[in-house]
Amino acid sequence: MSRTHRSHAQWLELFEAFEQSGQTQAAFCAERDLNPAYFSKRRRELLEENDNGFVQAQQVIPVNHHSLTLNYGGLALTLPLHVEPHWLAQLVKSLAA
């Protein structure tokens, strides 16, 4: 196995390829001349790095300036803009659990 420096983006691509491959980690690494222990270590680091309890949000241009639509796992919930922030925070917290 040769040492190759990979960028963060390249590691993400490798992890995605592994997830899509259906292969065992050992087979995937052997096929790409990767050290399975290092692959596992980098993958674990990435998962820990991304597991901060937050869901990535995207800014959308509102179609209706009188409501707010939350999209979560295939559900769309439209709320009035005057909804209480505390209530909305509790809702998001409950959905994340």
pLDDT interval class at 39 (50, 70, 90): very high
The answer to whether residues 69 and 91 belong to one domain is yes
Is 2 part of a structural domain of the chain?
no
Dump the DSSP string for the chain: -------HHHHHHHHHHHHHH---HHHHHHHTT--HHHHHHHHHHHHHHH-SS---------S-TTEEEEEETTEEEEEETT--HHHHHHHHHHHH-
What pLDDT, in 10s, does the model give residues 52-67? 555 556 656 656 567 8
62 and 83 share a domain? yes
Q: Are residues 31 and 59 in the same domain?
A: no
Task: Give me the number of domains the chain comprises.
Answer: 2
Last residue of a domain, one of 50, 69, 84: 50
Domain residues for the domain of 45 are 8-50
pTM: 0.49
Together in a domain, 59 and 96: yes
Assess whether 60 and 92 both reside in one domain: yes
What's the pLDDT at 24? 92
Q: Are residues 19 and 46 in the same domain?
A: yes
